[in-house]
Amino acid sequence: MNRQGAPALFVLSIMFLVFGTPSSVLAQSMKNAVDANTIFRQFLFEAEDSRAVDPKAFATLRAGLESADDELRLIAIRAFGRLERAESVRLLINLIADESAEIRAEVANALGQSVESISEPAGGERTELSVIATVHAALTSRLYKETDSKVRAVLAQTLGRLSFRNTQSIAAAEQPLSALLDMRDVESLPALLGVVDGLESLTRQNVGRHSLMSETVEGLRNIVIGPMPVVENTQDQDTLARVRRLAMSALAINGTVDRTMVEIALSDIDPQVRRLAATALGAADVLNERAALIMAALNDSVAMVRYEALRAYGGRLQSNDCQPIIDILNTDDGNMHLSLLALDLLANECPSDQSVDLILASVAGELTSNQTFFNWHRPAHALVS
């Protein structure tokens, strides 16, 4: 059967003959002339729900791929992706060049899902071509040709989450993504988000095995420090914020943050970008003017940023002075997370001239026999410290 082939009713009749009418539509189909696509849609749902362990259910999903109706094809494509079976790749791969952008995007995602539970064979580039290599080649080839920004986003995201086991393949996946980091026009924002998302996934999955190319680091750094397009609507502003978050995350994971980048990120209008920058203050092995940046982050208006800055202070600066931790305990006791972290940090080394024991004893003294569920945490943490 092809898309211009047998009418839907003929397909429906074949389905009935092969494995009967699904129970959920039996009564209705006997009484009324039900639309063929509606019934076939139900077949597809039931085939997916069964995980297509039955050859007949698998054949139903294959028939869905050849439907003339785009909605039915989308259902079948999503179903094949959710099955997470490598054998689905050969059925899906040719649809990556479909005339429908929605179909192309769904196929790219389904191809990634189909190889989710497997990894590339070990042995280097001369290893026999694997199914992951097949998917990698198809995604890369389409990424170079694709003109739709949203489809490019899905292609890039999927490329970044493939499970590679040798450094050559990881680098080969990074290169086409890196080449797209200079997109700045508003129309390309969805694609840029997908590219940075793909690079962040690639970096996170391959910590210790692969470091980003200098060109990629520079491209991500330029996203963090700007300038970026000026956008008016809320959706584009949110997209840009997500792009900066992912760029900052990828650079932090890769261990390639620097003072200028962190300083600018700590001034970002998006609190999540600032939180990631504060996290990097403690994680980065080498960072100029770390102490000044940590102190600036401790004064952020958002508690989650101050929390990460306090963690960084405890890990990097506490042995010199515990006063900033004590200040947080005194001024931020309305935020339970900050207060508890400060109490926990006071269990660590502090200069001998600071009366930490008295402070902890005072907080521990808040514990009474009639303590409520909501106010026992501080004294309990103080007792442990």
| 351 close to 320: Cβ distance less than 8 angstroms | yes
**Among candidate residues 68, 83, 98, the one where a domain is terminated:** 83
pLDDT of residue 224: 98
Decide if 353 is inside a domain: yes
Q: What is the DSSP letter of 130?
A: P
Quick count: other Cβ atoms within 10 Å of Cβ 84? 16
Amino acid at 173: A
Burial class (CB in 10 A: 0-12, 13-18, 19+), 281: buried
- Averaged pLDDT, 13-42: 61
Question: Which pLDDT score, from 0 to 100, does residue 368 have?
Answer: 75
**Nearest-angstrom CA–CA distance, 27 and 21:** 10
Within a domain: residue 169?
no
In whole angstroms, what is the distance from residue 385 CA to residue 365 CA? 13
**Structural domain includes residue 103:** no
- What span, in angstroms and rounded, lies between the C-alpha atoms of 130 and 116? 13
Domain boundary among 83, 98, 130: 83
- Residue from 344, 287, 280 nearest 318 by CA: 344
Least confident of 182-191, 223-232, 236-245, 328-337: 328-337
Q: φ and ψ at 318, to 5 degrees? A: -60, -35
Is 72 in contact with 37 (CB distance < 8 Å)?
yes
Range with lowest mean pLDDT among 8-17, 150-159, 206-215, 290-299: 8-17
Q: What is the mean pLDDT of residues 269-292?
A: 95
Burial 33-45 (b: 16+ CB within 10 A, else e): eeebbebbbbbbe
Kindly report the pTM of this predicted structure: 0.85
Whether residue 61 lies inside any domain: the answer is yes
Contact, 364 vs 383, CB < 8 A? yes
Q: What six digits make up the tokens of 25?
A: 């539509």
**Which 8-state DSSP code applies to residue 120?**
P
Question: What does the pLDDT look like over 326-353, one tens digit per residue?
Answer: 999 888 657 889 999 999 999 998 887 6
Query: What pLDDT was estimated at residue 5?
Result: 45
Of the candidates 83, 111, 128, which is a domain's last residue? 83
The pLDDT value given to residue 6 = 43
What is the reported pLDDT for 16? Answer: 55
Q: Read off the tokens for 269.
A: 């209008």
- Number of Cβ within 10 Å of residue 68's Cβ equals 16
Backbone conformation region of residue 20, classed left if phi is above 0, alpha if psi is from -120 to 50, else beta: left
Residue 363 CA to residue 350 CA, distance in Å, equals: 18
Residue 186 lies in a domain: no
Q: And the tokens for 373?
A: 């569920």
In angstroms, what CA-CA distances link 2 with 66, 97, 215?
A: 6, 16, 46
- Quote the domain boundaries for residue 326: 319-385
Q: List, in order, residues 6 or more apart from 24 with CB less than 8 Å away.
A: 42, 46
Number of domains observed in the structure of the chain: 2
Average pLDDT rounded to a whole number, residues 155-184:
95
